[in-house]
Amino acid sequence: MGALLDAVVGWLPPTGSDLRAIGYVVPGLIANDTWKQGPWKTLLASLVITLATRAVLLLFMH
């Protein structure tokens, strides 16, 4: 994730290290949730929040 984000950030205008931190923080949070509540609950929660985020972005971007 971090390498992919670094590759994409190279094409974007400079934003500082705050955007790059996403590649380190989010996988750690997902791994921690998987450890605590199991893979299926974590997968379902990740799917729900991803779809909700996409819906909000579609509403505000159009």
> Can you tell me whether residue 11 is helix, strand or coil?
coil
Q: What is the pLDDT of residue 1?
A: 62
For 3-55, how does the pLDDT look when each residue is reduced to its tens digit (9 = 90+)? 676 676 666 666 556 666 777 888 899 999 999 999 999 999 999 999 999 99
Segments in 11-38 forming alpha helices (H): 17-20, 22-37
- Parse the chain into domains and list their residue ranges: 2-61
